[in-house]
Amino acid sequence: MFENNLDCCVVRDLIPSYLEELTEAETSAMVKEHIEHCEACRQFENDMRVQVPIEKAPKRALKFLKRVKRTRLMAATLAAIVALFCMWWLYDQEFHYTNTAVGRLEAVCDYIPQPIDSTMPHGVKAGTPVRAVAWQAIDNHLFIFFGADNEENVHGVMHLVRGVNGKYRAIESSYAPSQYTAGVYGESLTPKGTDWKLFMLAGDNCRDIYSAEVHYIGLDYDGIDQYTAVKTYELSDSNFLWIIEQSELEQELGLSDKDITGLHIEDVRLLDKNGEDVTGEYKDESMTASWGAGKGTAELFLLYVYMGIVAALGIVFIRYFLRKD
């Protein structure tokens, strides 16, 4: 007695595909076995062979189409990878500097000197050696205290912001000449993109300077009253950068109850290990320049435009390769 799980009606539905060899091998075997033992279905198969010319599926064509589909999928994947790489490369060109000795020096060398064709009367001329003296990171912001080895002994601070790639982008800088070949520098900071009010104290080449007596002056909001305070700092490092909140500094100076718009350094006295004033030893009387300058970087609008264009082109190519003809 022949046993088969396929009913005659199922077999008759499968016979057209069976004749064109489109069914799976297991299914074809079951249909063939059923036909061998079922007279009605065998007759149905014979009738189908006579009535309908059987054209076997073009296997070579099917293989070719499969290769085309696979090639298109690979091309779409490659297009996505290239688009992502280009977007990442564009982003890395802006957020480019690492918080390492090499990265900080590279940032200062790239950002601070003026272009060769610059007509600005003040600043750091192209080709001037510059140094990344000290640094401090606050959240995703990096501040670099730098110095230029030129006749005007320019010093200043540079502000950078960290991107999603962990690297930094230069945002702004401020600098000015100094009469001192070594010593302590300070200024108020209001970093771009924040609501911070900070104060910076920095030192350069303070190897033989053991402490600094800093004389502060603050103005009220009306610009009429002045408030002064003095604080002496012990210097344990020859090069340093300290950044604190202005409100904290005002409290240390006993000026927290005053309505002060900002603090400025009026004078600095450099002291040796015996507490003797050695400020004059570091003063260059021949340097009389007095100016201040700064530099700012444009917003990221164009970067995002370029990244958007690359993304759009990537989507166009991906859709093209995945199209259904």
Give tens-digit pLDDT for 182-241. 999 999 999 999 999 999 999 999 999 999 999 999 888 776 778 899 999 999 999 999
Q: Is residue 205 part of a domain?
A: yes
Structurally, how many domains does the chain consist of? 3
Is residue 108 within 8 Å of 134, Cβ to Cβ? Answer: no
Same domain, 139 and 251: yes
Q: What pLDDT was estimated at residue 4? A: 58
Is residue 71 within 8 Å of 302, Cβ to Cβ? Answer: no
Q: Can you give the residue range of the structural domain that contains 43?
A: 16-51
Same domain, 124 and 256: yes
pTM of the complete model: 0.76
Rounded to a whole number, what is the distance in angstroms from the first to the last CA of the chain? 51
Placement of tokens 């079951």 in the chain: 30
Q: Is residue 47 part of a domain?
A: yes
Same domain, 181 and 46: no
Same domain, 259 and 224: yes
Which among 171, 184, 190, 202 has a CA at the least distance from the CA of 261? 190
Q: Is residue 252 part of a domain?
A: yes
Same domain, 109 and 134: yes
Same domain, 81 and 219: no
Same domain, 200 and 289: yes
Same domain, 76 and 127: no
Q: Is residue 317 part of a domain?
A: yes
Q: Is residue 231 part of a domain?
A: yes
Q: What pLDDT was estimated at residue 321? A: 87
According to DSSP, residue 53 is labeled: -
Q: Is residue 105 part of a domain?
A: yes
Q: What pLDDT was estimated at residue 240? A: 96
Question: HSE (CB half, 13 Å, CA atoms) of 304?
Answer: 4
Same domain, 88 and 176: no
Same domain, 183 and 84: no
**Spatial distance between the Cα atoms of 204 and 157, rounded to a whole number of angstroms:** 12
Same domain, 166 and 292: yes
Q: What pLDDT was estimated at residue 1? A: 44
Q: Is residue 9 part of a domain?
A: no
